[in-house]
Amino acid sequence: MTLIPWILLILAVALQLVTLPALILRKDSNAAAWRGFIPGLHFLSWLELIQRPWYWIIFLLVPGINLLLLTVMHVELGLAFGRRSLKDQWIMGALPWWGLWELRQSKDGWIGKRDWSKTRKSTVREWSEALIWATVVAGSLRMLIVEPFTIPTPSMEGSMLVGDYLIVSKTSYGPKLPRTPFTLPFVHNALPGGLTPSYTSWFSLPNLRLPGFRNVERYDAVVFSFPHGDTVYVDPNLVGHDYYALLRRDGIGRAGGDVQTFSLNPDRYMDEARAKASKNPGLRARPLDKMENYVKRCVGLPGETVSVIEGQLHINGEAVSNPEGLQMEYRVTFANQAEAKSAFRKLKLTNLDLGPVSAVPEGLAAVMALTESEVAAIRTLAAKVEPMSNAHRRGRLEMFPNVWDEEFNLWDPDNFGPVMLPKKGNTIELTERNVKLYRRWIGAYEHHNLVVLPNGQVIIDGKPETEYTFGMDGYWMMGDNRHRSADSRMWGFVPEDHIVGRATLTWFSKQNSAQHGESKIRWDRVLRPVE
């Protein structure tokens, strides 16, 4: 990390703090100049000098918008003290370090903001001001109120479709203030057309969430920062995938493709895979608010115990109702291709619902993702319909907590758990099982240094511990397309500080020919609430 940005930031703030008190006294010799010395409060004095409303401070919290607004405020500060030539405005906007110091050393008196009542603004100036304020307002709404989101994968098919354009409410759970305040507006984490970061990573703020209208509830469609996206492969085909799963796959390959051999020394093989990936295609760490955004359905709340038995979700040992539109994979056998096409057409299925197709003695077998109502309908159209088994995924370290263990090796997407979700204030014993389940939570999410000694003793932050008390809430997220969703069953808990907002409305929906068989607007889904 270079020190130059920090030096420039500290210098800019220092110049503001030493300049504003002097300027306040030039406007009013009896004013409370001390307010200009206090970081944060000095913005109020600044806005008074340029005769702008106090609520501009809110816009300073918005990434990207804050840089734009600070530039405007620097220029207007110069204007308020008579520096109105084009050269002076450029200096105050582009070189505030120079402009502020020069303004402080001068004897320019306060004359207030420019009065445009008797002068016509140029067309360029009018359009520039309109564009700036449109950017400020739209950027603030995007960060604090609502944000658009697109469904890119079929993991929520059945309720949310690929090609749905959603409105995500930030106010439902409370908008999060950004950790990376210096970023380009309207761009999440990379410049268009590539993977160049759209933000600066040298300066970050602590996590802070403003009050919301409600808590996360079961079956909410939640948008969140992907927990395993804190590092990414610098490759457009891999950047949105599970970084640790990719490393583990490469590490297993380095162990001769044998999972058990890999598990004897996972750190060695993971380090080798990481060293290779750091050279080609390259690795990049991402701050929390710049991780890829995922959307899943929240099925488990803090403190609850989650398990899946034969595909049925259980909470605290009791089966719960499934969300409407839940899909599972089935192997459907047809007598011939004509029957298969007829069923496909009658049920209005798309290419995304279809999996591998193979010839069998009975005719044609196709793997399909179907809802309960579609299963009932297709039984009258096909020779045989049987649920797909996921037993082949056991013992491959695909399932959370992704470690070799006699119990965990028996888990698959349809048979999983029990796992208790973290809840702030709850205390667990640091048994061998719990250390495996919560090690990443304690280390990566709650930022403690956890070490397990060869004798099994657990050391946290240098102290032997037998218990651990959670500092945050954790949630369990699953896709409605249960057999085609990478979710908490594979990568575990979603911490509360990763929650972005609640998907509330599908404002537009479009399908394409490659994924759905034909391209068209789905008018029946436009302006439809997300259920």
89 inside domain: yes
What is the side-by-side strand order in the sheet with 312-315?
318-319, 312-315, 305-309, 416-420
Highest mean pLDDT among 21-35, 390-404, 513-527: 390-404
What pLDDT is recorded for position 5?
A: 63
76 inside domain: yes
pTM, two decimal places:
0.85
16 inside domain: yes
Q: How far, in Å, CA of 511 to CA of 482, rounded?
A: 21
Phi-psi region of 316 (alpha: psi -120 to 50; beta: other; left: phi over 0): left
Domain around 65:
4-114+121-142
Q: How far, in Å, CA of 268 to CA of 150, rounded?
A: 38
Mean pLDDT of 362-376: 92
Give the count of alpha carbons within 13 A of 283, CB side only. Answer: 17
User: Do residues 101 and 15 touch, judged by C-beta distance below 8 A?
Assistant: yes
350 inside domain: yes
Neighbour count for residue 316 (Cβ, 10 Å): 13
Neighbour count for residue 369 (Cβ, 10 Å): 23
Mean pLDDT of 497-507: 94
What pLDDT is recorded for position 40?
A: 85
Is the pLDDT reported for residue 32 higher than 70?
yes
Is the pLDDT reported for residue 262 higher than 70?
yes
| Total number of domains constituting the chain | 2
Q: Among residues 364, 388, 412, which one ends one of the domains? A: 388
Q: How far, in Å, CA of 416 to CA of 408, rounded?
A: 8
Q: Looking at residue 350, which CATH number applies to its domain?
A: 3.30.70
Is the pLDDT reported for residue 2 higher than 60?
no
Distances (CA, A) of 280 to 198, 232, 234, 243, 248: 22, 12, 8, 14, 16
pLDDT per position as a tens digit, 164-215: 889 999 999 999 888 887 788 888 888 888 888 888 877 777 788 889 999 9
pLDDT per position as a tens digit, 394-427: 999 999 999 999 999 999 999 999 999 999 999 9
Determine if the peptide bond prior to 281 is cis (ω within 30°).
yes
User: Do residues 226 and 188 touch, judged by C-beta distance below 8 A?
Assistant: no
Q: How far, in Å, CA of 151 to CA of 223, rounded?
A: 11
310 inside domain: no
22 inside domain: yes
131 inside domain: yes
SS3 of residue 217 by DSSP: coil
pLDDT per position as a tens digit, 223-252: 999 999 999 999 999 998 999 999 999 999
Is the pLDDT reported for residue 1 higher than 50?
no
341 inside domain: yes
Q: How far, in Å, CA of 482 to CA of 487, rounded?
A: 9
Helix (H) or strand (E) holding 254: helix 243-254
Q: For the residues of 119-176, what is the DSSP string, one character each?
A: SPPPHHHHHHHHHHHHHHHHHHHHHHTEEEEE--SGGGTTTS-TTEEEEEESTTT-PE
Neighbour count for residue 135 (Cβ, 10 Å): 17
